[in-house]
A and B are shown apart, each in its own frame.
Chain A
Amino acid sequence: MELDPILLSRIQFAFVVSFHAIFPVFTIGLASFIAFLEFRAWKTGDAIYTQISKFWIKIFAVVFGMGVVSGLVMSFQFGTNWSAFSYATANFLGPVLSYEVLTAFFLEAAFLGVLLFGRDRVPQGVHLFSALMVALGTFISSFWILVANSWMQTPAGYELQEGIFHVTSWIAAMFNPSFWPRFFHMGLASLLTAGFVVAGVSAWYLLRQREVELNRKALGVTLWVLLFAAPAQLVVGDIHGLNTFEHQPTKVAAMEGVWETERGAPLLLFAIPDAANETNHFEIGLPKMASLILTHELDGEVPGLLEVPAEERPPVGITFWAFRIMIGIGLVMIGFALVGGWLRFRRRLFDSPRFLKGLSWMIPAPFLAVVAGWFVTEVGRAPWLVYGVMDHAQGITPALTGGMALFTLIGYVVVYAAVFTAGVYYLVRIVRQGPEPADAMHAPAHAKRPLSAADTSIDDAAISGERS
């Protein structure tokens, strides 16, 4: 079989970017949570907020460190596999991605060290300010990344000269038509991710009667966030979907599994899309509902995939099912948020073992939803790199062979599997060790590396008496 460098490069990019994305999406939300805790501690003087914050800062440090490691690979991916695309779009994407790196650098140099290691060395106000700046900085970082991605989805503010993109308006290019819905959709996704992880871990502790007061506080606060963020995501997601419907109708047709342009299109709950025969099998749908959601009219027209030639259609099955996974998990999240609100109203928030157990099972769910969501928008963009202007075949590295692409794809899978296993294993150890008691003496940590903020041992001490 002939190895296709384009397909292998797409798989490789999907793999490394999915792997990378789960770290920042968590740290962005967690940074806000930590800033909130530091703010409450400063405002109320209640030591319990500091104690919760200390524990989550340890987790934050490890996840942030893993994000930096996988980010190193990202900054070279564009050039190795998509050099023609990089060369053509560098006038816009080069500065934008540089600003992302500069933001991250600035953040790390100026504030991260103080947040991780400065608690007992700087005034509380300075420490709080650092926490706020780290939270703000993570959002600014995501701002630049989403500027880049949105521009590839809905390019604006440019002109092409001899195959090279030149920026004609930086404002129009940065705040392109799909930027704001994407930014808010992703911001809420970050809050939901951190919220469900904190809620799930706190619930896990409560089930085991560990640090009860502290974890009740953490869970109580987090469920307020989820009660707001989970339903809000439904609204923002709908706005984002309508934006996509306006600018990328083919993507929406793939998300909904619509082949023929139709009025009163049904909302498919289940179907097996068949690209070869341009139809679906085993459809189960709600009549007219897709039209209602997309056009806000029962008989609104939804353009189908057949409007464009076959080679301009995205892989329908992946887009269709990734969309359903994202929506399904989103609805379950809303369910948990509402049940939490109801239990709180009945003053039984911490008394339902089933609810707590359910929450701890929900820890992986937001990560799955985020990756599925990115699959929808990225696979749904195919075959375009810059929507409607430059496709995969035009953007691929000309000298890349299938063998080279396969070699690095296998290589990255092996490397990431090793790193990810070690990282998750270590995170689980930190969680099992749990928050420190309020009066714990803090061993002085000098080094300014993120991971050294966590002092849990990665394996069992062989030498007795050694600190673990």
Chain B
Amino acid sequence: METTLDITLIWVVIIAVGVIAYVLMDGFDLGVGILFPFAPGETSRDVMMNSVAPVWDGNETWLILGGAGLLAAFPLVYAVFLPALYIGVFLMLAGLIFRGVAFEFRFKAHRSRGLWNAAFAIGSAVAAFAQGAVVGAYIQGFEMDGFSFAGGPLDWLTPFTVLTGIGLLAGYALLGATWLILKTEGETQAFAYRVTPWMLGIVLLVFGAVSLITPLIDPKVMERWMGTWQYLWVLPALALFSAWVLIRAVRRRDEGIPFVATIFLFISTYLGLLVSKWPYVVPPDYTFWDAASSPDAQLFTLMGALFVIPIVLGYTAWTYWVFRGKVTPESGYH
């Protein structure tokens, strides 16, 4: 029994870190797609795409590993979230496929470029919104019958999940904009500086609304925040501090700090969500331990994961290192 707890806890950490790593990494390249239609021109779009070209598909592969990893380590999560979000999952996958294909073919296209631009932007926005709705659906909790989802096909689409969907859409756009501040110059960077405060404004509005509504939906959350765990308030405080740093950095035209501040904003919000719901992973009733697969299945998968994940992380870090520095209209990666 002792070992069961340990391995499951290791998997909680792997999945929790994996989710935020995916959100941050695919978030900024999805965000670049969301901002695509508003870019100041075609040259600027080239630069925007080139800024994420070397890394985007590496970012997305984490999603595949996440799917397989959940099936191996927390099958209940896999077997409840996917049916509950059935239509949303399809929209997310369709969005990701279209933007992925558009990404590759836009570089090789001349006359049909407008078509690929649209596919890239719409695909990115749909995928981001669907992922935001997943967050909302998780906060809402699921209607269960024993160990299977028993709700309706559109339970995941409520005013609340639309709100979280818009929140993540704006959040990803914010990540994308601050990434562009870091990676570009000239008109593209100026554009990114312009949109950043707007995106931050939307994010903060949604953040505030969700923080108010969540304790009303889930009494456990109310109890957690108003009860003994008072030191939790450091997390929203950190989020607001990050937002203040971000605004100040934009005003001073800092290039690196906005992106870093946005990352901190995301991490503190994410941790706030995790501690609100802890230890429930399929709310309202099932914890990580209820959702776990058998110990030998978790152990067997863990061996492979501990071998491969460091190699993939090293490769990822190396890729970011190789492609460090500013992207200019002249420095085409493709």
> Which 10 residue pairs across A and B have the least CB separation, nearest first?
A90-B75, A94-B72, A79-B82, A87-B79, A109-B315, A75-B67, A83-B79, A451-B104, A94-B71, A458-B108
For residue A404, CB closer than 8 A to chain B, the reply is yes
> Which residues in A have their C-beta under 8 angstroms from that of B145?
398
For residue B105, CB closer than 8 A to chain A, the reply is yes
Say which residue of B72, B94, B314 sits within 8 Å of A90 (CB atoms).
B72
A-B contacts, 6 of them at CB < 8 A, read: A72-B60, A98-B69, A101-B64, A166-B294, A452-B107, A457-B108
Say which residue of B54, B82, B311 sits within 8 Å of A446 (CB atoms).
B54
Contact, CB under 8 Å: B72 / A98: yes
> Which residues in B have their C-beta under 8 angstroms from that of A460?
110-111
For residue A220, CB closer than 8 A to chain B, the reply is no
Q: How many residues of B contact A (CB 8 A)?
A: 72
For residue A69, CB closer than 8 A to chain B, the reply is yes
For residue A424, CB closer than 8 A to chain B, the reply is no
A72-B96, A411-B90 are contacts. A94–B101 as well, Cβ < 8 Å? no
Contact, CB under 8 Å: B89 / A76: yes
Say which residue of B65, B71, B296 sits within 8 Å of A167 (CB atoms).
B296
> Which residues in B have their C-beta under 8 angstroms from that of A98?
65, 68-69, 71-72, 301, 304-305
For residue A466, CB closer than 8 A to chain B, the reply is yes
Interface residues of A (CB under 8 A from B): 65, 68-69, 71-73, 75-76, 78-80, 83-84, 86-87, 90-95, 97-102, 105-106, 108-110, 113, 166-167, 170, 397-401, 403-404, 407-408, 411-412, 415, 418-419, 422-423, 426, 445-452, 454-463, 466, 468
A311 vs chain B, min Cβ distance (A): 23
> Which residues in B have their C-beta under 8 angstroms from that of A95?
72, 297, 300-301, 304
Contact, CB under 8 Å: A398 / B87: no
> Which residues in A have their C-beta under 8 angstroms from that of B293?
90-91, 94
- Chain A, residue nearest B58 (CB): A448
> Which residues in B have their C-beta under 8 angstroms from that of A451?
104
Interface residues of B (CB under 8 A from A): 53-54, 56-58, 60-61, 63-65, 67-69, 71-73, 75-76, 78-84, 86-87, 89-90, 93-94, 96-98, 100-101, 104-105, 107-112, 145, 147-153, 293-294, 296-297, 300-301, 304-305, 307-308, 311-312, 314-316, 319, 322-323, 333-334
With a 10 A CB-CB cut-off, give which of A65, A99, A407, A454 has the most chain B CB atoms. A99
Contact, CB under 8 Å: A80 / B305: no
> Which residues in B have their C-beta under 8 angstroms from that of A65?
104
A91-B297, A110-B311, A447-B53 are contacts. A86–B75 as well, Cβ < 8 Å? yes
Say which residue of A100, A108, A445, A446 sits within 8 Å of B61 (CB atoms).
A108
With a 10 A CB-CB cut-off, give which of B68, B84, B101 has the most chain A CB atoms. B68
> Which residues in B have their C-beta under 8 angstroms from that of A399?
83-84, 148-153
Say which residue of A69, A411, A459 sits within 8 Å of B109 (CB atoms).
A459
Say which residue of B64, B101, B109, B334 sits within 8 Å of A447 (CB atoms).
B334
Contact, CB under 8 Å: A461 / B110: yes
Bound Cα distance from A167 to B295, whole angstroms:
11
> Which residues in A have their C-beta under 8 angstroms from that of B300?
95, 170
Contact, CB under 8 Å: B86 / A398: no
Bound Cα distance from A466 to B111, whole angstroms:
12
- Chain B, residue nearest A90 (CB): B75
Contact, CB under 8 Å: B82 / A102: no
Contact, CB under 8 Å: B75 / A457: no
> Which residues in A have their C-beta under 8 angstroms from that of B319?
448
B309 vs chain A, min Cβ distance (A): 8
> Which residues in A have their C-beta under 8 angstroms from that of B86?
80, 397, 400, 404, 408
> Which residues in A have their C-beta under 8 angstroms from that of B84?
399
Bound Cα distance from A72 to B97, whole angstroms:
8
B118 vs chain A, min Cβ distance (A): 13
> Which residues in B have their C-beta under 8 angstroms from that of A400?
83, 86
Contact, CB under 8 Å: B311 / A109: yes
- Chain B, residue nearest A106 (CB): B308
With a 10 A CB-CB cut-off, give which of A73, A108, A109, A110 has the most chain B CB atoms. A109
